Structure 1
Amino acid sequence: MTTALAHTWYVTQRYSRTAIRQPIWVLSALLQPIIWLVLFGALFKRIVEIPGFGGGSYIGFLTPAIVVMTAMFSAGLCGMTVLADLDTGVIDRMLVSPVRRGAILGGLLVEQAAVVFVQCGIILVLGLVLGARYSGGPLGALVLLVAATALGVGIAGLSNAVALTTRRRESVIGVVQLLLMPLTYLSSAFMKLELVPGWIRDIARVNPVNWAVSGGREALAGNPQWGHVFLNVGLTVAFAVVTTLLGTAAFGAYRRSV
């Protein structure tokens, strides 16, 4: 166990050094979420006046959703890193080294989780600057970041599975575009579920994006229902575990094919 953790840490450091050397790629992933937060917050600020919405500040309602979306879209192309390492022979060289096999993808996921956590923290602070208020305090903010990071790891695991199965960049991009935006709109990201059609509510119940948004948003409330928070965050973590196992299985299939 100690050796596996040490190897995972070494692989994490490798990917972390790449991110540090090219911080523009980490920061550029924040551009779109910032635009969403500023523009959507301004364009739809009067949505809170719709009967049944409950009032409040729309920027406060929107910020947890943008935090979760930041995690999704940042992690969605994680499979591209795997493909780059396949093309350059990095993974093949790792496979003939003493490094534990689980550490190869594990280190990448840990690095991705760290990047997502930092990016989501920046968006959370930006929301505060734009007028959002977090009644749940630091604990609520931390729960939201954990939920978003767990979702990011889940999406990264799925991206890795697609990359290792198809070994084509077009497939990774296609799956990301096909899934992420529809999953966002089929959740409570932009509108309370009580005000959307019933079929969207049904899909939202089994939607990992909605689990992360709902759990994180509730944690930021003044008097959160912790049972609701733990259920939704727990489901998000379970999603991350399942997709990580899928990625691991796809990696095993790749190893057997070389």
Structure 2
Amino acid sequence: MTTVTTGKDPQSTEALDFVAPKADELAALFVGRSRPPRPSALSASLTFGWRAMLKIKHVPEQLFDVTAFPIMMVLMYTYLFGGALAGSVSEYVQFLLPGILVMSVVMITMYTGVSVNTDIEKGVFDRFRTLPIWRPAPMVGYLLGDVVRYLIASAVMLTVGVIIGYRPDGGIVGILLGVALLMVFSFAFSWIWTMFGLLLRSEKSVMGVSMMVIFPLTFLSNVFVDPKTMPGWLQAFVNNNPVTHLATAVRELMAGRWPGTDIVWVLGWSALFVLVFGWVTMRLYNRK
């Protein structure tokens, strides 16, 4: 028996009998209610992608690497190398802009690994792992959110390029096809950095290792010059570099041509990155 105080008169008490519910009544209470449906893989991934976009809203400085950095890259390399390599800025920008677009977007993919590592250090991923969702959803969400950043960088660079004289013969269709291929490759390439984000202990380590991988791939390619001017031993590496295939494919698509071989190479590299580094990432994520 228990005693409770009534709401009308604090001094008065009323004796109530407390009867414990039976086990079958409790079971009926919980089982009788329908559980909410489990979110699909797409729904969960889009939700985490939206979370990544909200982080940009609260920390707009994150857009610096997809706005100011691409503008600086276009202007610096165009006016620095244009006269020496092509004789004029207007001629060089036709060759350079698709390549520098590829280089800039590929370079900023490393921030995916930095973001993953930061959330791990804060303990956020421990909460994600307890949710009844598709396992890779947090990782895929990061990559989907970063695709929006890549699109912003592409739009900024193409706008600056058109202002300084870039004229794509492929028109809008060629530009859209080139950017779409770049987004596919960048999404797949980012799985490398999610692996490093889970594997390394600090975001500085992730950034350091990422730069060691990205710089040889981007600079030892056909982004700035035709590989035919390079030594034979260097051409062997450059011609088989995935960034070279990507830059060639984007350059040709924007010029109104269809580089079938390079497109196949880019899609093949993309599939390889997802299969290998995506599998390793999820192994590390499940064991972290």
Same fold (TM over 0.5): yes
Separation (CA, whole Å) in 1 of partners of 2:51 and 2:97 = 32
1:21-50 CA distances to partner (integer Å, 9 max, x unpaired)?
323211344323322211211122231249
Q: CA deviation at 1:236?
A: 4.5
Mapping 1:1-258, distance limit 5 Å: 3-46=40-83, 47-49=85-87, 57-222=91-256, 224-242=257-275, 245-257=276-288
Instruction: Report deviation, 1:212.
Output: 1.3
AA matched with 2:95: F
CA distance in 2, matches of 1:121, 1:72: 15
Return structure 1 stretches of 4+ with deviation > 6 angstroms.
none
Query: 1:154 is matched by which residue type in structure 2?
Result: A
- 2:41·2:137 contact (CA, 8 Å) conserved in 1? yes
Question: What does the per-residue CA deviation read over 1:99-130, in whole Å, with 9 as the maximum and x for residues that have no partner?
Answer: 21111101111111121122112111211111
Structure 2: 5+ residue stretches without partners: 1-37
Three-state SS of the structure 1 residue aligned to 2:240 is coil
TM-score (norm 2): 0.79
Uncovered stretches (5+) of structure 1, i.e. residues with no partner? none
Q: State the partner residue of 2:33.
A: none
1:210-256 CA-to-partner distances (Å, cap 9, x unmatched) read 1211100011124x1342453244235335424xx414423323422
Distance 1:133 1:236, change over 3 A: farther
Asked if the contact 2:107–2:214 (Cα under 8 Å) also holds between the matched residues in 1, the reply is: yes
For 1:72, give the aligned amino acid.
V
Q: How much does 1:171 deviate?
A: 2.6
Q: Given residue 241 of structure 1, which amino acid in structure 2 is its aligned partner?
A: V
- Structure 1 residue 155: deviation in Å? 3.3
Given the superposition, is the C-alpha separation of residues 68 and 42 from structure 1 closer, same or farther in structure 2, using an over 3 Å criterion?
A: same
Partner Cα separation in structure 2 for residue 189 and residue 114 of structure 1: 23
Counterpart amino acid of 1:58?
A: Y
Cα offset, 1:95, TM superposition: 0.5
CA–CA distance in structure 1, aligned partners of residues 191 and 242 of structure 2: 13
Identity of aligned residues (%): 26
Give the structure 1 partner of residue 11 of structure 2: none
Distance 1:66 1:188, change over 3 A: same
What amino acid does structure 1 have at the position aligned with 2:163?
A: V
CA shift, 1:205, in A, is: 2.7
The answer to whether the 8 A contact 1:82-1:160 is kept is: yes
Structure possessing the higher radius of gyration over alpha carbons: 2
- SS of 2:153's equivalent? helix
Q: Structure 1 101/62 Cα, relative in aligned 2: closer, same or farther at 3 Å?
A: same
Higher mean Cα deviation, 28-37 or 190-199? 28-37
In 2, Cα distance between the equivalents of 1:153 and 1:75?
A: 8
Structure 1 residues 234 and 56, CA gap change in structure 2 (3 angstroms): farther
Aligned residues: 250
The CA distance in 1 between the partners of 2:265 and 2:169, in whole Å, is: 19
SS in 1 for 2:136: helix
